[in-house]
Every structure is written in structure tokens, then in C-alpha cells.
A and B are shown apart, each in its own frame.
Chain A
Amino acid sequence: MNVLSLVIFLPLAVALGLYAVPGLGARAVTWTWIAACAVDFALVIAMWIGHGTGDGISYETKVRWIPSVSAGYHIGVDGLSLPLLALTSLLFLACAIYSLRQERQVRAFAALFLFLQTVSLGLFAALDLLLFFVFFDLSIVGMYFVIAGWGHGDRMRSALKFFLYTFLGSLALLLGFIGLYLGAEPHTFDMVELTRTPPLAGSTGLAGLVLLAIGIGLAIKTPTVPFHTWLPPAHTDAPAAGSAILAGILLKMGTYGFVRIAMPMLPDAWRRYAWVIIIVGLIGVLYGALVAYAQEDLKRLIAYTSVNHMGYIIVALGAAGALGDQAARRLAVDGAATQMVSHGLITGALFLLAGVLYDRAGTYDMGRFGGLAGRAPVFSALVAVGAFASLGLPGFSGFIAEFQIFAGVIGSGGTGLVVVGALAIPGILITAALFLRLLHRAVLGPPGELTARVTDAHRSELGAVVPLLAPAVVIGVAPRFLLDVIEPASAAVISLVAR
């Protein structure tokens, strides 16, 4: 058993352990949970160091699993998955710390999150489509129980909507995977094999249909317009930690799937339909930002900015399939991969902060707050930092991601892409306006109706949010440590999609 398997299954083992020791108190459960996450995070960092800045897959393991359909337990990491593994283990650690104040059914909550962590880590490490699919589906199941069990408001309905909608997506995805399996000669679910010799190379029509199935499956998970409407209610009614994981990790499963599966395995189809993808992404950028601008509910606002931020990734990945300068397209993919990490950190932090507000006042309605900076200066400072990070201010990771995406998309040089870039850039102006509106209404100005109820951030909340915003600053100021890992992998993606 290599270290990657340990990283993946350690959380699950701890989750089982929590039930094996019956007398454990709530406090002890949470601290065990935190310790497990910390160890897991440390192991991922060690793997990061061990991986270095080369291209190719490291920590590879391949074990027979269902040989009748050539599906194996095949895992490994490269420059695209490693940052996401690090993000996953860090965000789950932050959620564990945040949950120190959790009182309801702590053991089940911790076990569920540990289970989700195993599932998420497994997905990002999976090198077999069936394995990927299993983790993809289990993540939906896990999140369903988080929302239904610990949510608030109309949680059963939101959870059901989330489950059915994304489950439908996963069925489309499975259909696509089966298409890939049947298209490969010999039939296999192995992602490395499928990447090496893209299936369905001869039949453009079938490849297009398979891309459609996979695209719809991943688009629902990402989500892109118009498949995004499960997201706002799921966020609004999920507990804070659940929202953070949903936005920070689960959405990345969609975008990661595009880079890992759709682009390298269906390069022809990806190039052929690049413009469909670019336009879907562009609509997501502008539509997400505009709809977010009009929201009154803090969590819905952040949810819609996620649609906007994911839109940038889709635009960049689409542009990678369009014709144009190779170095520029690589820059766009670098930006997309950076955006996945950046969005996870920043939006994760923002959702945890929204949870603080709900914890104190029981609502996310921005209009009923105001002047929080006086009542809760630390909390307000963190919200302001999160807001500026999310609107892409330089010095934070969002800028590193978005600048690369814009420069890469425009820099590809095609007239169409220049127009797309010019249309996408105003997205950051709208996000700026909406985050300033949020600050103006909730954080600054005279006190509002519910301001008196809000006490400042507790130590556990601080301990959860600061470790998320700090790496966002580090990436924003000195991004090389991250880009050094991403760049070889994105270069590989570009050459794979160009075949």
C-alpha cells in the first residue's frame, strides 16, 4: 500500500474508528477528526515535495479490481491532481476546525466528512474511469446526507434537488464512460490507456455524442449555465462546512473531469466543439456575475459568483481546444488549474464566514445587517479580505488565475478569442461591484436590524478561515511554487488535445 492509498483511505479508516470506540465524547471526536485531517494534509505536502516539478504520474498504484471489464484500482498523481489533493485535504482540515463548535450529532457529522474526504481525494487521484465514477457518485450521496442531516431551512427539498439533479448528471457521465469503454480497442476503463490512444478516433459522430454525455454530466456538477440552479438552494440550506466542501471541492470534480477526461480522451471532438464550450463558459461568466449582483441572500450571492468563476475555467479550457498560439493556450490552462485551487480556498473561506453570520443571526439576508465592522472587526476584516480576493485583486490567488486566463485566451490570437476575452473581462468589474455592494450593505455603514446579535469570530472560526485565506495570499504573491507543478501538466494537456 503506497502513500497515496494511505492518504485516500486514512480518513475513512478514522471514520470507522470513531464508531469502533464507543465512549468518545463530542470534543474528542472533533479533535480526532482534526488530527486525522492534519496528518492527511501533512502527507499530501510530503507527496508534493516528493513529486517535484516533473511531468508524468507519480505514486502510481494499479491493482486488479473488476478484470472482466478491464477496470482496476488505478491511482496516481500529476501536476493537475496534486494541487487539488492539497486543496481537498486543507479545506477538509479547515472544516474540521470550524466544526469545533458543532454540537449536533458530532460523531456522525465527523464520520460523514471523513467519508467525503476519502471520496474526494480518491476522485482526484483516480486513473480509472469506473473508480472515478464510483467516487463521483459517492460524493453526491455523502453531500446529500450532509445537507439533509445538518442543513437548515428547506433542507430536505434542497438536498433532494441536489441529489436528483447531480445524480442525473452522473448517469449521463456513466453513459459517456461506457461509450469511451466501448470505443477503446481493446475495451478498457483505464484512463492512462484511454489517454494514450484516444478512443473513437475514427468516428467523429460517436465521439461527439460521447463528449455530449460526458459534457452534460460534468457541466451539471461544475455547474455551468443553464445547469446551475441546484447550486443556490443547496448552498443556502447546507451547513457552513457543507457549503465550503460543496463549492470548494465538489464543483472542482466537474472542471477536473474536463481536463482529465474529456480533453485528453476526446481531443478531436473537443477541438470540433471548442466554440460551444467557450460560449457556454462565457455565458456562465457574465450571467453568473450579473445574477449574483442582484442577490439579497449572502449565500446565494456567493453561489452565483461560483458560477462566474467556473465560467472562466470553462472559457479557458474551451480556448485550449481552439486554434492559436500554443504558449498562450497553455497559459490559459495554467490559469484554469490555478482558478480551481484559488476558488476552492477563497469561496470555501467565504462560505465559512457566511456560516458565522447564520450561526449568530439565523439569516443570510444582507440587508438586515450593516456596520458589522464595528461589532465584529475581525470577522469583517476577513469578509473584506475574502471579498477582495474573490473579485480578483492582485496579491490574491484569484488574480493569478484570472490574469492567466484572460491573457491566455486573448493571447491565442484568433479574432473570435479576442472578442471572447474582451467580453469576459467585464466579469471582474461586475464581481467588483457586487462584492463592494455586499461590503457596503452588511459590513460598513450604520448598524442594521440584526447587527447587535453578531459577535466576533471565535477562535475555531478564525482557525478555519485564516488557513484558507493565507495560501490565497501566498499564491497571489509568490505563485511559482504552484505554477511549477501545474505548468508541466498543462503543457501535457495542451499537446494531448492538439493530437
Chain B
Amino acid sequence: MSILGWLLPAVPIVTGVLLLTGRFVFGRSLDRPAPAIAIGAALVALCLAIAAAMVRPTVQFPLFGRLPAGLAVDGLSAALVLTVTAVSLAVLLFSAGELSPDESRARFFGLMLVFTGAMLVTVTATDLAVLLMGWEVMGAMSYALIGFWWREPRRVSSADISFVTTRAGDLGLYFAAGAALVGTGALSLSDLAAADGPWRDLIAAGVVLAALGKSAQLPFSFWLSRAMDGPSPVSALLHSATMVAAGAYLLLRLEPLLAATGWAATLVAWLGALTALLLGAVALAQRDLKQLLAASTCAQIGFMVLGAGAGAVAGGAAHLVAHAAVKSLLFLGAGAWLSALGTKDLMELHGAARRHRLLGVTFGIGLLALAGAPPLSLWATKDTVLSAAFEHSLPLYAVGLAAALLSAGYAGRALFAVARPIDAMTRTDTEQVGTRHISLLEKLPLPALALGSAALGVFALPLVDEAWRNLLGTGREPGPGPAELALSGALVLLVLALTWVFVRHGGRIRTAWAAPAQHWLHLERLAELLIARPVFTLATALARFDDRVIDGGVRATAATGRLASALAGRRVEVRVDGLVRAIGRGTRRLADLARRPQTGQAHTYYAQAAVLFAVLILIVLLVR
């Protein structure tokens, strides 16, 4: 059944490429059927994913030399392909409702399909080369999608920043591939943990760098803030099942490698925990709903990264799957309100949940799940990760728990903002002119995603978790006991209550204290000041150096040549030529002299002959 392994990524990618190129053949008329075609392809992909999850196809093909390369669906991949295709279908359905027909929909849906297909390649790849192919194409698609409204320079800049930042991380994978070649003689993911000696550390370093960049973990988090400039459905897909999830997936997949090195596991665990904590604080300080959700994505991915570092592969994967449902739901909801009410400012969204009941209810479920409220999904999955962190070290657990409580805080803040009644201060259309309408297609995926947000936590609960671990093929992992679950649930509810009290009393966080959090810890400014600008300055300086010094040297050589020739021409040549001319003049004068005797008269010749004869006789006489 290897054909299935090919078809799974090929269907969305080929359909996407056809939509993208078809636009230039059929013109704008393709924009009308594009959503239907894309949804059809996504549906087929979902069916293929279900089939692949059951059949577990494996594809092997030669790529470089004799190095084996391939695609395969194992337990973890099965969970991922189902998540990716399901979320992608939901998001495409929503997009079909949201994107007006006068947008270039063929381009949008084409890019979304290739984006999805690239993620499918990434999560089914069995070696670093194929993984990197999906990985980087995904980055390029996110560039094109974030910059979808390309006429606006800010959005294009955001796309630039996203691509360059994530590619900076991707360099790690190129390096890891080289190190893997030395360490294991091949590129297979499954052998990386067995690489010898220092090569294992180098591979791990490259992989960690790539994963942190893609997953917007510290210090790369800022690109995710800029990624918000894309259309809402793009955020819904990019923040849930693709792109940022890829980094977490890679770390979960290569957990044995991290564990084998020791330091990499600890580093990753701490970076994940710190990202969860600090970006949680960032989320808490945001006024813009989409920025809040973006920061919360970094924070939640932080839990998955923490899970990979702490050895909780099943817990981390469960968190990934459940978070994908939650976050796609929330971004679709925020996007629906943005297009209907024209705002994503939390202060102006008051009453939003009451105006649009279905959206309000599902959005509320999503936020409660994000908060970690029992019995919704992220409550249990996060606790699985935390209990693994507890086994690792107590400070790690404490940071993780604090981050979990922060997520209750920011989710609560967003929840109370949209749930409280509309008031006199609420203004709509602060960003764009809203349509005041949410279409059926936009509503359609929300209940399913809400159900997922509520229920997908079962994978982390006792009884079901064993089946989940069997699916992923991971060993026994420390799970949370009932007491832990109850405690964290109670704490979350307490934080939610406190947040409610705080919001109700119109509490505001002191801005001076919150400034770094509001500005995403100033990471983008730091990256610009410390890296982007110095590199560009260096480039400009080198360009000048190239013109003046290197090419200057060439020009100077040429000029020296010209100077030498001028010198030769004016000084040396004049004298040499003068000599030649002098010889010429002398010869001519001699010739003139020689012509004199040639008179043509016989008596002169006779006289000359007589003189010559006399001279000859004289010589003969004298010499003898």
C-alpha cells in the first residue's frame, strides 16, 4: 500500500499547484470554483489520512546516492496526519465563507493546500532530507500566505521577517543532516539517537535550533506576532496543526536523541517552560485578541517542547493534537468577529459572544479549554506534561505550573471580554468595515472543533492514555494522579475567578511594568538591532569595498598599464622613433649624394672612371 503514502501529501500539493498555475491559464474565473476544489482535495486528504492511519503505508525511494529516503506513517505520524488534514479541512471550509469572491481565491486556496501538503511531508518523512523539503516549503508557503495582501508594505515586511527568522532556524537542519551523515552514515531519523560521540551532540544542536525557530520558541517568538498580518484562516492553520506544530513534532519525534545527549533534553525542557511562562505573560498583556492568541500559541507550544524535553512524548503529542483543535477554533472565531464586527480589540469586542450565539458558545469552549479548565482537553494534556516535568526537576515543574496558571489568566481575560454585555464605550469597525454577518460556511466547522477542544484531552486521562501510548509506541510515562488533576483544575478555576473579579472591577495592569510584555519582550527590536541591521551595514560596507578596493585594484592595474603605454608612447617611443628617423634621414642624404654623379653624360662617366682607376693604382702601389 505504498501508493497511499505518496497520495497523502501529493493530493493537496498537486491540487494546490494546479490552482496556483491554473490562475494564469484560466484567469480570474478560477477564483469562483477554487474553494470547492480545495475543500474537495482537503476532504480526500482527510480520507487518505484516515486510511493511512489504519494501513500505515511506507514508501522508500532513493534520493541522494545510496542514502535511503522515504515517507512512512507510524503512530505519531498517524496522529499528526489526522490532525493536519482535519484542521485543514475545517479551516478551508471557513475560508470559503470568509474570503470574498473578489479576492484572488485560487492563489489563497492553492497556497493553503501546498502548505498542508508540505506539513504532511514533514510529519511522514523518515529521513532528514525529505523532512527538510517539507519543512522549508512550509516556510515559503507561510511567507506567501502572511503576505497574501501584498499591496500593503507592512504585511510584506511581516512575511519577510517570518521567513527569514524561521529559515535562520532551518539552517540547523542543514547542519544536522551533515552531522548525521558522519555520525550514522545516513540521514534516517530513527538512527539519529545512535550516532556516535560528538556527532550526536551536533545533530541535536541543529535539530533543536530548527525546532525552536519553527515553533517560535524563545528567542525566535517575535515572528509569530508578525505572522498575524496574514488573513485569519492562515493564522488558524499556521498556529494549530502546521508550521509552529512542526517544531514541536520534530522534538517529540526525536525525543530519544534529546534524551541520549542529556543536555539537549534539559535545554529544550527549560526553553519550553520559559517560553510558556514568558509568552504567557506576553499574552496576558495584549489588548489585541489575535496578538493574545498568538502569544498563547508560543506558550502552549512551550508545553509540548517541555514535554519533549522531559520525556513525555505521549503527553506532548496529546497536547499538540488538542491544542490544534483549540487554537484553530479560536483563530477562526477571532477571524469571524474581525470580518463581522471590524475589530479584534478586546475592549471593543464586548458583547460579541452575545451577538453571535453559536460563535460565542464555541469560542467560550475554546477559551475554557485553553485556560485548562476541567474537564476540557488541555487541562489533562498539560498536566501529563507537567507531571513529567515534576519527575525531572522541581523548579522546572514550578515554572510550568506558573505558566499553566498564566494561561488561565489570559484565556479568562479574553473570555470575559467577549462574554460581558456590550457597553457605551464599545465601538466597532476600528480596523476595517465589518460585514455584520457570519456566513453558514464560517459557522460550519466551529462545533466540530469545539467538540475536539472539549474532548481530545481523553488521550491524557487514565484508561484511554494507555491506548494512546500504544498508538504512539512510547513506553510507560509518568501520568498525573487524580490528586494532581484535581489540584490543577481547582487552581485554574481559582485563577479564572480572580481574573473575573479583576476584569469586573476594571482593573488594569500598570503599563510601565507591562511594557516589555506588551511588546513581545522587545525581541523583534533586539533581533533588528543586533542582527538584521549590522548584517545590512556590513553588506553595504562590503559592497563599497568591492567597488572601491577590489575593482579599484583592477582599475588601477589597467590604469598602470595605460600609463606605462603612454610613457612608452611619449618618451621611449619618441626617442626610438627619432633614431629610426635620423637613420632614415641620413640614408636619404647619402642617396642624394650618390645620385649626383649619375648625370647620364658619357664624358662625366669617363672622367669618373679615370679618377677611380687612378685611385685604385694609388692604393695598389701604397699597399704593396
Contacts and interface: CB of A to CB of B under 8 A. Distances in A.
B164 A429 contact: yes
B538 interface: yes
A229 B175 contact: no
Interface residues of B, number: 52
Interface in B118-176: 129, 132-137, 140, 143, 147, 150-153, 156-157, 159-160, 163-164, 167-168, 171, 174-175
Contacts of A467: none
- Listed residue (A327, A334, A371) with the most chain B CB atoms within 10 angstroms of its CB: A327
B140 A388 contact: yes
Contacts of A413: 182
A362 to B, nearest CB: 23
Nearest to A490: B65
Given A328-B181, A422-B175, A436 B63 contact: no
B164 to A, nearest CB: 5
Interface stretch (A65-73, A353-361, A403-411): A403-411
Given A229-B551, A440-B157, A418 B179 contact: yes
A373 B150 contact: yes
A229 B178 contact: no
Interface in B556-587: 558
A268 interface: no
Contacts of B164: 429, 432-433, 436
Interface residues on A, range: 35 or more
B156 A294 contact: no
Interface stretch (B73-81, B251-259, B295-303, B539-547): B539-547
Contact of B178 (A161, A164, A407, A439): A407
B609 interface: no
B63 A479 contact: yes
A429 B202 contact: no
A80 B106 CA distance: 41
A436 B163 contact: yes
- Listed residue (A228, A230, A291, A426) with the most chain B CB atoms within 10 angstroms of its CB: A291
Interface of B is mostly: helix
Given A406-B174, A410-B178, A428-B171, A165 B157 contact: no
A480 interface: yes
A440 to B, nearest CB: 5
B168 A429 contact: yes
Interface of A is mostly: helix
A393 B140 contact: yes
Contacts of A445: 150-153, 156
Nearest to A233: B551
Interface string A144-159: 0000000000000000
Contact of A291 (B66, B175, B187, B542): B542
Interface string A161-197: 1001100000000000000000000000000000000
A128 interface: no
B513 interface: no
Nearest to B114: A395
B182 A293 contact: no
A119 interface: no
A411 B171 contact: no
Interface in A458-499: 479-480, 483, 487
Interface string A6-26: 000000000000000000000
A108 to B, nearest CB: 29
Contacts of B26: none
A440 B154 CA distance: 10
B129 A410 contact: no
B178 A418 contact: yes
Contact of A410 (B132, B134, B181, B543): B181
B64 A421 contact: no
A331 B157 contact: no
Interface in B210-251: none
A378 interface: yes
B550 interface: yes
A226 interface: yes
Interface string B517-538: 0000000000000000001101
B471 to A, nearest CB: 30
A229 B550 contact: yes
A367 interface: no
B175 A290 contact: no
A293 B163 CA distance: 16
A22 B543 CA distance: 49
A229 B153 contact: no
Contact of A394 (B64, B132, B150, B163): B132
A428 B309 CA distance: 29
Given A407-B181, A411-B181, A444-B147, A487 B550 contact: no
Interface string B8-34: 000000000000000010000000000
A395 B160 contact: no
A327 B543 CA distance: 38
B151 A331 contact: no
B177 interface: yes
A208 interface: no
A294 B178 contact: no
Interface string A370-391: 0101100110010000001000
Interface in A218-235: 225-226, 228-230
Given A225-B550, A399-B133, A436-B163, 7 more contacts: A229-B550, A394-B137, A406-B177, A407-B129, A430-B535, A436-B159, A446-B151
21 contacts: A225-B550, A229-B550, A328-B182, A374-B151, A378-B24, A393-B140, A394-B136, A395-B133, A395-B137, A406-B177, A406-B178, A412-B182, A425-B174, A425-B175, A439-B156, A440-B156, A440-B157, A444-B156, A445-B150, A445-B151, A445-B152
Which 6 A-B pairs have CB atoms at the shortest separation, nearest pair first?
A410-B178, A411-B181, A394-B133, A229-B551, A294-B543, A293-B539
Interface of B: 24, 62-66, 129, 132-137, 140, 143, 147, 150-153, 156-157, 159-160, 163-164, 167-168, 171, 174-175, 177-179, 181-182, 185, 187, 202, 535-536, 538-540, 542-543, 546, 550-551, 553-554, 558
